[in-house]
Amino acid sequence: MPNIVAFGASSSQNSINRKLAHFAAKQVPNANINLLDLNDFEMPLYSTDREKEGIPELAFDFKAALTAADGIIISFAEHNGAYTTAFKNIFDWISRLEKPIWCGKPMFLLSTSTGARGAITVLELAHLRLSRERPNIPTFSLPSFNENYDDINGITNVDLRANFDTALNNFVSQLSQ
């Protein structure tokens, strides 16, 4: 049974990216899912000066969740063409712990927004950065979330669902390698 850690890279209470990340994790056969909430990992804004005072325990806790997982699923919210502050702050803090930052685990990167671009800019940014640690990371962007997703069926658009399944299968095959 693969242990999957999944989260929306957002601190919104009703994050659509959290929903999408959870949906993706539930499609992994026989997975044990650890669905994280970034609000549980809120830390002081990273700075080199604050780091001299010590790295927050929550950064170690977050890293421990990554270490315990066989695969990592992240769905990115886009704020002004980039990561949300909530995600970037965690990323910065854990980047000061042991490498590789994302533990070299198989990853599946997604994004969604209520608009037609589906937060593709932040997904491309994340893919570019995280691929430096591990090549061949599958990605999937869901545009117009409210039109293409519902809580019962998940991704409802047939073509988008087919693209999702292709990316998911790539991720699942990496879990067993």
Name the residues that contact ligand FMN, by CB under 6 A. 8, 10, 12, 15-17, 77-81, 113-115, 117, 119
The residue (of 18 and 172) whose beta carbon lies closer to ligand FMN is 18
Q: Give, to the nearest 10 degrees, the angle between helix 85-94 and helix 57-68.
A: 90
The closest alpha carbon to 148, from 139, 160, 140, belongs to 160
Residue 121 buriedness (CB in 10 A; 0-12 / 13-18 / 19+): middle
Closest distance to ligand FMN from the beta carbon of 92 (Å)? 19
The residue (of 114 and 136) whose beta carbon lies closer to ligand FMN is 114
Closest distance to ligand FMN from the beta carbon of 146 (Å)? 10
Closest distance to ligand FMN from the beta carbon of 34 (Å)? 18
Whether the Cβ atoms of residue 139 and residue 110 lie closer than 8 Å to each other: yes
For residue 98, count other CB atoms closer than 10 A to its CB.
Answer: 9
Closest distance to ligand FMN from the beta carbon of 104 (Å)? 26
Closest distance to ligand FMN from the beta carbon of 167 (Å)? 19
Whether the Cβ atoms of residue 30 and residue 70 lie closer than 8 Å to each other: no
Pairing assessment for the beta strands 149-150 and 154-155 based on DSSP bridges: antiparallel
The residue (of 125 and 175) whose beta carbon lies closer to ligand FMN is 125
The residue (of 15 and 89) whose beta carbon lies closer to ligand FMN is 15
Between CA 26 and CA 104 the distance in angstroms is 22
The residue (of 47 and 114) whose beta carbon lies closer to ligand FMN is 114
